[in-house]
Amino acid sequence: MSQTLQTTTATSARDRAQAWLADFEAALTARDANRAAGLFATTSFWRDLVAFTWNLKTVENRDGVADLLRATMDAADAREFRVTEEPAESDGIVEAWFGFETAAGRGEGHLRLTDEGAWTLLTALQELTGFEEPSGHRRPMGAEHGVDPDRRTWREARDAELAELGDSRQPYVLVVGGGQGGIALGARLRQLGVGHLVVDQHERPGDQWRGRYKSLCLHDPVWYDHLPYLDFPRNWPVFAPKDKIADWLEMYTKVMEINYWGSTRCTSATFDDRTQEWTVELDRGGTPITVRPKHLVLATGVSGKPNVPEFPGQDRFRGEQHHSSRHPGPDAYRGRRAVVIGSNNSAFDICAALWEVGAEVTMVQRSSTHISKSDSLRELSLGPLYSEEAVAAGMTTQKADMTFASMPYRIMPRFQKPAVEAMKERDADFYARLAEAGFLHDFGDDDSGLFMKYLRRGSGYYIDVGAAELITDGRVGLAHGQVAELTEDSVVLADGTELPADLVVYATGYGSMNGWAADLIDQDVADKVGKVWGLGSDTTKDPGPWEGEQRNMWKPTRQENLWFHGGNLHQSRHYSLYLALQLKARAEGVPTPVYGIPEVHHTS
């Protein structure tokens, strides 16, 4: 392509994008929802992260756009829409990044524009006007020049702050759970100046990782897993082992000045509708403490309570049995007979670790599972956004996260399927060997692969870092079906197959996160909130109705002042910003009229 034609195409794409944004802003200024909706394609999607809705909300088609705008236009008062970098055009679709302002703050967005109008629109609040983070040119001085007879060192001030928490000063936000989710949110709240306390039953940050089986490592690559504000070093391994991650989380908690209490267990929480305040009872190393935060965040991960199945005969089984979350590692089971029930990430990791120490291992596959080879997933799916090549091409973590966020969940399979097809071709021999070994494999209900399986329910997949070879070559046994009972020394399947066992590991997943709300608060609140996680896609393990966003995650719930936060490292990093902005706005009295809290659907 000639330079002249390249310039003409770029100019045309910029003109089209800027013209659309100008027309959209004019319609908003005129408070004409129907006119604004007419700028969207007949089939279209608008995903808003807090900017207009004070919610995480996706609406579809012109009717959905018009409804959102009629409810939010006045309060949002969005304006100053402008293209922020050179748009791109491919296959008739213009893609443009843009900035804008609202009554509350400043946002960034992404537009996919066709000849018919906007196909996808992302609007995301990035900061609150007047309450910006003290970073960049706003960074604090640190040193206080001059003389002050009452001067306190940084260490003295920090110690005093921690000592006052729960005593003379109450946290505005109490975060229950000190894994990557709670720590990422704590860092965001700290930077925004929101009084917070993160509590965890483990002694130190990262102990959740330290306490897991010794072969555990990240299955996602390093570029996908940074925490807010502080990237991993450039020499960090692509797949970090668990203890290295644990040390990083402990260090991160300290340097980001997160208010963190370890060895602290929450025993109960109640909400006062009159005072709009929680009363939370804590046990801190044997000392009872009562705290009264305005907001309570359950940051216990994407998973809820462990699903520990009940089978006849568990009480008479003479060996050891435990859920995968309690698996101590393989060393005590050298030369023993182990049965691992399940075929997910934990099941494969545990099978591999047990086989390495000489255990006789059998995996029981109860339902079809998707496997992606780690290298293929990294290179074919994540690579364009999260890789060394992407970084070299100028892709920042922020831009990668926003690009990912710009894909509405309804059409995300369309973006995932090409990578899945490429994996099928690249790893055809691998999948053939899985089939020959009898492993029940799938690529998801609609061939959209691992990410959609994770987003829909968070289960039914494995990112292969080598353990699948133990199945394909028979070094780890494979059985199929449901468990009928346990005898004194075996697992018996429904078809009568008997698997001798000294150890049974239940790699049987987790329930909904609202199980934690039932334990900590009460069942009525858990029922009021409803299911947590999943899109309502009406696919396996993710029953409808369609919600278009993760149920109850990172956004207001039907229980006032109760929030859920978590997910993998990528989600903990990215969505902690939007949750922190919602909490900061409430702390500062910024109006936060919420659009689109869904009805509760009690699904299993």
**What CATH number did the domain enclosing 351 receive?**
3.50.50.60
Residues 6+ apart with CB under 8 A from 222: 232, 236, 237, 238, 239, 240
Whether residue 56 is contained in a domain is answered as yes
pLDDT at 152: 87
Range of the domain at 91: 3-128
User: Are both 341 and 199 inside the same structural domain?
Assistant: no
Whether residue 141 is contained in a domain is answered as no
Whether residue 51 is contained in a domain is answered as yes
Across 129-215, the runs of DSSP E, i.e. the strands, are 173-176, 196-199
Last residue of a domain, one of 506, 538, 567: 506
Token digits of residue 132 = 């910006």
User: Are both 295 and 357 inside the same structural domain?
Assistant: no
Q: Is the pLDDT of residue 17 over 70?
A: yes
User: Are both 347 and 472 inside the same structural domain?
Assistant: yes
pLDDT at 151: 84
Burial (Cβ within 10 Å: 0-12, 13-18, ≥19) of residue 96: buried
b/e code 471-492 from CB counts within 10 Å (16+ = b): bbeeebbbbbeebbbbeeebbb
Q: Which helix (H) or strand (E) holds 22?
A: helix 3-29
The letter for the amino acid at 244 is: K
Residues 61 and 40 sit within 8 Å (Cβ to Cβ): yes
User: Are both 270 and 343 inside the same structural domain?
Assistant: no
Decide: helix, strand or coil at residue 307: coil
Helices 242-255 and 180-192: angle between axes, nearest 10 degrees: 20
Whether residue 267 is contained in a domain is answered as yes
Q: 275-325 pLDDT, tens per residue? A: 999 999 999 999 999 999 999 999 986 666 788 999 999 999 999 999 998
Q: 516-545 pLDDT, tens per residue? A: 899 999 999 999 999 898 898 888 888 889
User: Are both 345 and 489 inside the same structural domain?
Assistant: yes
User: Are both 515 and 502 inside the same structural domain?
Assistant: no
pTM of the model: 0.94
pLDDT at 140: 87
Q: What is the mean pLDDT of the chain?
A: 92
- Torsion from C-alpha of 396, 222, 370, 184, nearest 10 degrees: -80
Confidence band of 127 (pLDDT split at 50, 70, 90): very high
User: Are both 499 and 518 inside the same structural domain?
Assistant: no
Whether residue 375 is contained in a domain is answered as yes
User: Are both 59 and 111 inside the same structural domain?
Assistant: yes
Last residue of a domain, one of 128, 145, 172: 128
Number of domains in the chain: 3
- Give the span between the Cα atoms of 507 and 430, in whole angstroms: 24
Q: Mean per-residue pLDDT for 99-109?
A: 98
Residue 441 per-residue DSSP state = B
User: Are both 344 and 383 inside the same structural domain?
Assistant: yes
User: Are both 337 and 474 inside the same structural domain?
Assistant: yes
Whether residue 150 is contained in a domain is answered as no
Whether residue 133 is contained in a domain is answered as no
Q: Is the pLDDT of residue 603 over 70?
A: no
User: Are both 227 and 254 inside the same structural domain?
Assistant: yes
pLDDT at 457: 72
User: Are both 480 and 519 inside the same structural domain?
Assistant: no
Instruction: Specify the residue for token string 């339902």.
Output: 367
- Give the span between the Cα atoms of 565 and 188, in whole angstroms: 13
Residue 105 sits in a domain whose CATH number is: 3.10.450.50
Q: 198-227 pLDDT, tens per residue? A: 999 999 999 988 887 777 888 889 999 999
pLDDT at 109: 98
pLDDT at 11: 62
Q: 236-277 pLDDT, tens per residue? A: 999 999 999 999 999 999 999 999 999 999 999 999 999 999
pLDDT at 248: 97
Token digits of residue 401 = 């996260």
Backbone region of residue 549 per phi and psi (left: phi > 0; alpha: psi in -120 to 50; beta: other values): beta
Cα–Cα distances (Å) from 589 to 78, 124, 169, 343, 592, in that order, read 19, 20, 19, 48, 9
Whether residue 453 is contained in a domain is answered as yes
Residues 565 and 554 sit within 8 Å (Cβ to Cβ): yes
